[in-house]
Amino acid sequence: MVTRTSYDRPGAADAPSAPSTVLVTGGAGFIGSHACVELLDHGYEVIVVDDYSNSTPQVLTRVERIAGRFVGAVYELDIRDRRSLSAVFDRHSVDAVVHFAAHKAVGESTRMPVRYYDNNVGGTTSLLSAMHEHQVRRLVFSSSCAVYGDAGGGPLDESTPARPASPYASSKALCEQILSDVCRHRPEFVVLCLRYFNPVGAHPSGLLGEDPPGTPDNLMPYVAQVAVGRRKRLPVFGGDYPTPDGTAVRDYLHVMDTVEAHRVALDHLADAPGMRVFNLGTGTGSSVLDLVAAFRSVSGRAIPFEIVERRPGDVPELIADASAVARAWGWRPTRDLSAMCRDAWHFQQLNPHGYAGSARRFGKEE
Protein backbone atom coordinates (compact mmCIF):
# COMPACT_ATOMS: atom_id res chain seq x y z
CA MET A 1 0.00 0.00 0.00
CA VAL A 2 1.38 3.38 -0.93
CA THR A 3 1.06 5.69 2.04
CA ARG A 4 2.42 8.80 0.42
CA THR A 5 4.63 10.06 -2.36
CA SER A 6 6.49 13.31 -2.73
CA TYR A 7 4.62 13.93 -5.94
CA ASP A 8 1.46 14.47 -3.87
CA ARG A 9 2.98 16.97 -1.52
CA PRO A 10 3.64 20.67 -1.60
CA GLY A 11 7.31 21.55 -1.88
CA ALA A 12 8.21 18.38 -3.75
CA ALA A 13 9.01 20.30 -6.89
CA ASP A 14 11.68 22.22 -4.96
CA ALA A 15 13.63 19.09 -4.08
CA PRO A 16 17.10 19.08 -5.66
CA SER A 17 17.52 16.72 -8.56
CA ALA A 18 19.06 13.48 -7.30
CA PRO A 19 21.77 11.49 -9.06
CA SER A 20 19.94 8.22 -8.53
CA THR A 21 17.09 6.46 -6.82
CA VAL A 22 17.67 4.12 -3.90
CA LEU A 23 15.03 1.83 -2.44
CA VAL A 24 15.55 1.46 1.31
CA THR A 25 13.84 -1.54 2.89
CA GLY A 26 13.30 -1.09 6.63
CA GLY A 27 13.85 2.66 6.18
CA ALA A 28 11.83 3.56 9.28
CA GLY A 29 14.03 1.43 11.56
CA PHE A 30 16.97 2.48 13.69
CA ILE A 31 19.76 2.24 11.13
CA GLY A 32 17.48 2.63 8.08
CA SER A 33 16.12 6.00 9.22
CA HIS A 34 19.63 7.39 9.73
CA ALA A 35 20.58 6.01 6.31
CA CYS A 36 17.64 7.83 4.72
CA VAL A 37 18.93 11.13 6.16
CA GLU A 38 22.44 10.40 4.91
CA LEU A 39 21.18 9.57 1.39
CA LEU A 40 18.82 12.56 1.22
CA ASP A 41 21.67 14.80 2.40
CA HIS A 42 23.76 13.53 -0.50
CA GLY A 43 21.15 14.15 -3.16
CA TYR A 44 19.75 10.66 -3.60
CA GLU A 45 16.07 10.11 -4.30
CA VAL A 46 14.93 7.77 -1.52
CA ILE A 47 12.01 5.34 -1.65
CA VAL A 48 11.12 3.57 1.61
CA VAL A 49 9.29 0.31 2.19
CA ASP A 50 8.59 -0.74 5.75
CA ASP A 51 5.84 -2.73 7.44
CA TYR A 52 6.40 -0.87 10.74
CA SER A 53 6.69 -4.20 12.55
CA ASN A 54 9.47 -2.61 14.62
CA SER A 55 9.10 1.10 13.89
CA THR A 56 6.65 3.92 13.45
CA PRO A 57 5.75 6.06 10.42
CA GLN A 58 6.45 9.31 12.30
CA VAL A 59 10.17 8.51 12.12
CA LEU A 60 10.07 9.35 8.43
CA THR A 61 8.59 12.77 9.15
CA ARG A 62 11.62 13.39 11.35
CA VAL A 63 13.93 12.12 8.62
CA GLU A 64 12.45 14.70 6.25
CA ARG A 65 12.66 17.42 8.87
CA ILE A 66 16.37 16.80 9.43
CA ALA A 67 17.18 16.48 5.75
CA GLY A 68 14.98 19.39 4.68
CA ARG A 69 13.82 17.19 1.82
CA PHE A 70 11.02 14.73 1.27
CA VAL A 71 11.43 11.00 0.97
CA GLY A 72 10.31 10.27 -2.61
CA ALA A 73 7.66 7.75 -1.59
CA VAL A 74 6.80 5.62 1.40
CA TYR A 75 5.13 2.24 1.11
CA GLU A 76 3.74 0.39 4.08
CA LEU A 77 4.22 -3.21 3.08
CA ASP A 78 5.80 -6.47 4.09
CA ILE A 79 8.58 -7.19 1.60
CA ARG A 80 7.44 -10.83 1.53
CA ASP A 81 4.31 -9.57 -0.27
CA ARG A 82 5.79 -10.03 -3.73
CA ARG A 83 2.97 -8.43 -5.71
CA SER A 84 3.01 -5.24 -3.68
CA LEU A 85 6.78 -5.09 -3.72
CA SER A 86 6.85 -5.61 -7.47
CA ALA A 87 4.38 -2.74 -7.86
CA VAL A 88 6.87 -0.45 -6.09
CA PHE A 89 9.52 -1.36 -8.67
CA ASP A 90 6.93 -0.81 -11.43
CA ARG A 91 6.34 2.70 -10.15
CA HIS A 92 9.92 3.83 -9.61
CA SER A 93 13.06 3.52 -11.63
CA VAL A 94 15.22 2.08 -8.84
CA ASP A 95 18.99 2.12 -9.35
CA ALA A 96 20.04 0.33 -6.16
CA VAL A 97 18.55 -1.21 -3.03
CA VAL A 98 19.77 -0.92 0.55
CA HIS A 99 18.18 -3.81 2.41
CA PHE A 100 17.77 -3.29 6.15
CA ALA A 101 14.35 -4.94 6.69
CA ALA A 102 14.70 -7.88 9.06
CA HIS A 103 13.90 -9.03 12.56
CA LYS A 104 17.02 -8.55 14.68
CA ALA A 105 16.56 -9.74 18.26
CA VAL A 106 18.87 -12.66 18.97
CA GLY A 107 16.99 -13.91 22.05
CA GLU A 108 13.59 -13.66 20.36
CA SER A 109 14.96 -15.64 17.41
CA THR A 110 15.64 -18.60 19.69
CA ARG A 111 11.97 -18.58 20.74
CA MET A 112 10.60 -17.98 17.21
CA PRO A 113 13.10 -19.50 14.78
CA VAL A 114 10.61 -20.06 11.97
CA ARG A 115 9.41 -16.48 12.16
CA TYR A 116 13.01 -15.29 11.81
CA TYR A 117 13.84 -17.49 8.85
CA ASP A 118 10.55 -16.62 7.20
CA ASN A 119 10.99 -12.87 7.57
CA ASN A 120 14.72 -12.51 7.07
CA VAL A 121 15.35 -15.16 4.45
CA GLY A 122 11.86 -15.01 2.86
CA GLY A 123 12.03 -11.21 2.76
CA THR A 124 15.39 -11.33 1.03
CA THR A 125 14.34 -13.87 -1.62
CA SER A 126 11.18 -11.89 -2.30
CA LEU A 127 13.27 -8.75 -2.76
CA LEU A 128 15.70 -10.56 -5.05
CA SER A 129 12.80 -11.80 -7.21
CA ALA A 130 11.39 -8.30 -7.56
CA MET A 131 14.84 -6.90 -8.35
CA HIS A 132 15.43 -9.58 -10.98
CA GLU A 133 12.04 -8.98 -12.56
CA HIS A 134 12.84 -5.27 -12.87
CA GLN A 135 16.51 -5.59 -13.87
CA VAL A 136 17.70 -3.91 -10.67
CA ARG A 137 21.10 -5.38 -9.96
CA ARG A 138 22.75 -3.42 -7.18
CA LEU A 139 22.25 -4.27 -3.54
CA VAL A 140 23.77 -3.32 -0.20
CA PHE A 141 22.85 -5.93 2.40
CA SER A 142 22.76 -5.54 6.21
CA SER A 143 24.69 -8.42 7.65
CA SER A 144 26.02 -8.81 11.16
CA CYS A 145 29.00 -9.78 13.25
CA ALA A 146 26.55 -12.35 14.62
CA VAL A 147 27.53 -14.60 11.70
CA TYR A 148 30.95 -15.14 13.35
CA GLY A 149 29.45 -16.60 16.54
CA ASP A 150 32.01 -17.44 19.18
CA ALA A 151 35.09 -17.06 17.02
CA GLY A 152 37.56 -16.55 19.85
CA GLY A 153 39.43 -13.39 20.85
CA GLY A 154 41.27 -10.87 18.71
CA PRO A 155 40.02 -8.73 15.86
CA LEU A 156 37.99 -10.75 13.35
CA ASP A 157 38.49 -10.21 9.66
CA GLU A 158 36.07 -11.21 6.92
CA SER A 159 37.78 -14.56 6.32
CA THR A 160 36.76 -15.76 9.78
CA PRO A 161 34.52 -18.80 9.18
CA ALA A 162 30.82 -18.27 9.87
CA ARG A 163 29.66 -20.10 12.99
CA PRO A 164 26.22 -18.60 13.60
CA ALA A 165 24.94 -19.40 17.10
CA SER A 166 21.27 -18.35 16.87
CA PRO A 167 18.44 -18.52 14.31
CA TYR A 168 18.90 -14.78 13.79
CA ALA A 169 22.60 -15.22 13.01
CA SER A 170 21.87 -18.23 10.80
CA SER A 171 19.25 -16.26 8.90
CA LYS A 172 21.89 -13.62 8.08
CA ALA A 173 24.45 -16.25 7.11
CA LEU A 174 21.84 -17.92 4.86
CA CYS A 175 21.03 -14.61 3.19
CA GLU A 176 24.74 -14.12 2.51
CA GLN A 177 24.89 -17.61 0.98
CA ILE A 178 21.87 -16.88 -1.22
CA LEU A 179 23.35 -13.58 -2.35
CA SER A 180 26.66 -15.23 -3.11
CA ASP A 181 24.92 -17.89 -5.22
CA VAL A 182 22.90 -15.27 -7.07
CA CYS A 183 26.07 -13.33 -7.87
CA ARG A 184 27.87 -16.46 -9.02
CA HIS A 185 25.12 -17.41 -11.46
CA ARG A 186 24.06 -13.91 -12.52
CA PRO A 187 27.29 -12.03 -13.14
CA GLU A 188 25.43 -8.78 -13.75
CA PHE A 189 24.39 -8.77 -10.07
CA VAL A 190 26.52 -6.71 -7.63
CA VAL A 191 26.19 -7.08 -3.86
CA LEU A 192 27.95 -5.55 -0.89
CA CYS A 193 27.37 -7.37 2.40
CA LEU A 194 28.22 -5.16 5.36
CA ARG A 195 28.73 -7.01 8.62
CA TYR A 196 28.07 -4.48 11.34
CA PHE A 197 29.46 -4.99 14.80
CA ASN A 198 27.53 -2.96 17.43
CA PRO A 199 25.87 0.14 15.92
CA VAL A 200 24.76 2.55 18.66
CA GLY A 201 24.19 6.27 19.20
CA ALA A 202 21.78 8.58 17.46
CA HIS A 203 21.51 11.47 15.03
CA PRO A 204 23.15 14.52 16.62
CA SER A 205 19.87 16.47 16.31
CA GLY A 206 18.31 14.20 18.92
CA LEU A 207 15.36 13.64 16.56
CA LEU A 208 16.33 10.10 15.52
CA GLY A 209 17.66 7.31 17.68
CA GLU A 210 17.09 3.81 18.97
CA ASP A 211 13.66 3.21 20.46
CA PRO A 212 13.27 -0.49 21.24
CA PRO A 213 9.85 -1.69 22.33
CA GLY A 214 9.64 -2.97 25.93
CA THR A 215 12.75 -3.80 27.92
CA PRO A 216 15.82 -3.13 25.78
CA ASP A 217 17.89 -6.19 24.87
CA ASN A 218 20.86 -4.06 23.91
CA LEU A 219 23.26 -2.28 26.20
CA MET A 220 23.20 1.33 24.99
CA PRO A 221 19.40 1.87 25.07
CA TYR A 222 19.28 0.14 28.47
CA VAL A 223 21.96 2.46 29.87
CA ALA A 224 20.18 5.50 28.39
CA GLN A 225 16.90 4.46 30.02
CA VAL A 226 18.63 4.06 33.39
CA ALA A 227 20.20 7.51 33.01
CA VAL A 228 16.85 9.12 32.25
CA GLY A 229 15.18 7.37 35.19
CA ARG A 230 12.97 4.94 33.28
CA ARG A 231 14.83 1.95 34.77
CA LYS A 232 16.40 1.53 38.16
CA ARG A 233 19.66 -0.16 37.42
CA LEU A 234 21.55 -1.84 34.63
CA PRO A 235 22.06 -5.58 34.88
CA VAL A 236 25.64 -6.19 33.78
CA PHE A 237 25.69 -9.68 32.31
CA GLY A 238 28.84 -11.27 33.70
CA GLY A 239 31.77 -9.85 35.65
CA ASP A 240 34.07 -12.85 35.32
CA TYR A 241 35.04 -12.76 31.64
CA PRO A 242 38.73 -12.98 30.76
CA THR A 243 38.80 -9.26 29.92
CA PRO A 244 40.58 -6.36 31.66
CA ASP A 245 37.64 -5.51 33.96
CA GLY A 246 35.81 -8.84 33.78
CA THR A 247 32.91 -7.52 31.66
CA ALA A 248 32.38 -8.39 28.01
CA VAL A 249 34.07 -6.37 25.28
CA ARG A 250 32.39 -5.20 22.07
CA ASP A 251 33.18 -3.00 19.09
CA TYR A 252 30.63 -0.14 19.30
CA LEU A 253 30.17 1.89 16.13
CA HIS A 254 28.31 5.18 15.84
CA VAL A 255 25.15 4.83 13.75
CA MET A 256 26.19 7.94 11.78
CA ASP A 257 29.48 6.26 10.86
CA THR A 258 27.51 3.12 10.00
CA VAL A 259 25.23 4.94 7.56
CA GLU A 260 28.07 6.96 6.05
CA ALA A 261 29.63 3.64 5.15
CA HIS A 262 26.42 2.69 3.32
CA ARG A 263 26.53 5.88 1.27
CA VAL A 264 30.17 5.21 0.43
CA ALA A 265 29.21 1.61 -0.44
CA LEU A 266 26.67 2.90 -2.98
CA ASP A 267 29.43 4.95 -4.57
CA HIS A 268 31.58 1.83 -4.85
CA LEU A 269 28.96 -0.75 -5.84
CA ALA A 270 30.04 -0.78 -9.43
CA ASP A 271 33.79 -1.06 -8.67
CA ALA A 272 33.86 -4.84 -8.98
CA PRO A 273 31.50 -7.61 -10.04
CA GLY A 274 29.98 -10.20 -7.73
CA MET A 275 29.60 -10.14 -3.98
CA ARG A 276 32.00 -8.50 -1.55
CA VAL A 277 31.84 -8.68 2.23
CA PHE A 278 33.13 -6.00 4.61
CA ASN A 279 33.15 -5.65 8.37
CA LEU A 280 31.95 -2.33 9.76
CA GLY A 281 33.51 -1.56 13.13
CA THR A 282 36.07 0.68 14.75
CA GLY A 283 38.60 -2.02 15.64
CA THR A 284 38.44 -0.77 19.23
CA GLY A 285 36.99 -2.86 22.02
CA SER A 286 35.05 -1.36 24.93
CA SER A 287 33.81 -3.25 27.96
CA VAL A 288 30.34 -2.88 29.44
CA LEU A 289 31.87 -0.84 32.26
CA ASP A 290 33.79 1.35 29.78
CA LEU A 291 30.49 2.23 28.14
CA VAL A 292 28.83 2.88 31.50
CA ALA A 293 31.70 5.20 32.50
CA ALA A 294 31.56 7.08 29.17
CA PHE A 295 27.79 7.52 29.48
CA ARG A 296 28.10 8.72 33.06
CA SER A 297 30.69 11.24 32.00
CA VAL A 298 28.65 12.77 29.13
CA SER A 299 25.30 12.71 30.94
CA GLY A 300 26.43 13.67 34.43
CA ARG A 301 23.94 11.06 35.66
CA ALA A 302 24.63 8.15 37.96
CA ILE A 303 24.21 4.78 36.21
CA PRO A 304 23.53 2.28 38.98
CA PHE A 305 24.43 -1.23 37.90
CA GLU A 306 24.55 -4.71 39.31
CA ILE A 307 26.74 -7.53 38.06
CA VAL A 308 24.54 -10.55 37.40
CA GLU A 309 24.92 -13.92 35.68
CA ARG A 310 26.35 -14.08 32.18
CA ARG A 311 23.69 -13.88 29.44
CA PRO A 312 23.44 -17.22 27.62
CA GLY A 313 25.04 -17.05 24.18
CA ASP A 314 27.26 -14.02 24.95
CA VAL A 315 30.95 -14.24 24.12
CA PRO A 316 33.76 -12.47 26.01
CA GLU A 317 34.97 -10.34 23.13
CA LEU A 318 33.91 -9.32 19.63
CA ILE A 319 36.10 -6.79 17.83
CA ALA A 320 36.23 -6.06 14.12
CA ASP A 321 39.26 -6.04 11.94
CA ALA A 322 37.80 -3.31 9.72
CA SER A 323 40.95 -2.70 7.71
CA ALA A 324 39.55 -4.19 4.49
CA VAL A 325 36.91 -1.50 4.05
CA ALA A 326 39.47 1.20 4.87
CA ARG A 327 41.82 -0.20 2.23
CA ALA A 328 39.06 -0.56 -0.36
CA TRP A 329 37.31 2.80 0.01
CA GLY A 330 39.32 4.84 2.50
CA TRP A 331 36.31 4.72 4.83
CA ARG A 332 37.06 4.91 8.55
CA PRO A 333 34.74 5.69 11.43
CA THR A 334 35.40 9.07 13.05
CA ARG A 335 33.20 9.09 16.17
CA ASP A 336 34.39 7.67 19.49
CA LEU A 337 32.54 6.04 22.38
CA SER A 338 32.03 9.41 24.04
CA ALA A 339 30.26 10.76 20.92
CA MET A 340 28.13 7.61 20.73
CA CYS A 341 27.02 8.07 24.36
CA ARG A 342 26.53 11.84 23.98
CA ASP A 343 24.22 11.44 20.97
CA ALA A 344 22.32 8.51 22.52
CA TRP A 345 21.83 10.64 25.65
CA HIS A 346 20.64 13.63 23.62
CA PHE A 347 18.00 11.46 21.92
CA GLN A 348 16.97 9.92 25.23
CA GLN A 349 16.59 13.33 26.88
CA LEU A 350 14.47 14.74 24.05
CA ASN A 351 12.44 11.52 23.80
CA PRO A 352 12.31 10.09 27.33
CA HIS A 353 9.55 7.68 26.31
CA GLY A 354 10.74 7.04 22.79
CA TYR A 355 8.99 8.24 19.65
CA ALA A 356 5.44 7.68 20.88
CA GLY A 357 5.85 9.57 24.13
CA SER A 358 7.48 12.54 22.48
CA ALA A 359 4.97 13.10 19.69
CA ARG A 360 3.54 16.26 21.25
CA ARG A 361 6.92 17.76 21.85
CA PHE A 362 7.67 17.90 18.16
CA GLY A 363 4.40 19.49 17.16
CA LYS A 364 1.78 18.83 14.58
CA GLU A 365 3.74 17.02 11.93
CA GLU A 366 3.83 13.96 14.14
Catalytic residues: 168
Cβ proximity to ligand WQD: between 106 and 259 the closer is 106
Residues 207 to 236 in contact with ligand WQD, rule: CB under 6 A: 217-219, 222, 234-236
Q: How far is the CB of 24 from ligand NAD (least distance, A)?
A: 10
Give yes or no for residue 237 binding ligand WQD (CB under 6 A): yes
State yes or no: residue 123 binds ligand NAD (CB under 6 A). Answer: yes
Contacts with ligand WQD by CB under 6 A: the residue count is 18
15: left (phi over 0), alpha (psi -120 to 50) or beta: beta
Nearest-angstrom CA–CA distance, 33 and 11? 21
The Cβ-side half-sphere exposure at 232, using a 13 Å CA radius, reads: 1
3-state helix, strand, coil in the chain (%, to 5): 40, 20, 40
Of 15 and 84, the one with the shorter C-beta distance to ligand NAD is 84
Measured CA to CA, the distance from residue 126 to residue 101 in angstroms comes to 12
Q: What are phi and psi of 139, to 5 degrees?
A: -140, 135
∠335-327-27 over CA atoms, to 5°? 55
Residue 365: HSE in the Cβ half-sphere, 13 Å Cα cutoff: 11
Q: Which is nearer to ligand WQD, 126 or 258 (CB)?
A: 258
CB 303, CB 349: distance < 8 Å? no
Contact residue for ligand NAD among 80, 92, 250, 335 (CB under 6 A): 80
Query: Which of 23, 146, 303, 322 is close enough to bind ligand WQD by CB under 6 A?
Result: 146
Q: How far is the CB of 13 from ligand NAD (least distance, A)?
A: 29
* Footprint on residues 308-327 left by ligand WQD (CB under 6 A): 311, 314
144 lines the binding site for ligand WQD (CB under 6 A):
yes
Report which DSSP code applies to 6: G
Residue 80 binding partner per list ligand NAD, ligand WQD, none, with a CB distance cut-off of 5 to 8 Å that depends on partner kind: ligand NAD
Q: Give the nearer residue to ligand NAD in terms of CB position, either 197 or 241.
A: 197
Q: Which residues, 6 or more positions from 298, have their beta carbon under 8 angstroms from its beta carbon?
A: 338, 341, 342, 345
Smallest separation, CB 1 to ligand WQD (Å):
28
In contact, 210 and 221? CB cutoff 8 Å: yes
Q: Which residues bind ligand NAD (CB under 6 A)?
A: 26, 28-32, 49-55, 78-80, 100-104, 119, 123, 142, 144, 196, 198-199
Q: Which residues bind ligand WQD (CB under 6 A)?
A: 104, 106, 144, 146, 198, 217-219, 222, 234-237, 248, 250, 288, 311, 314
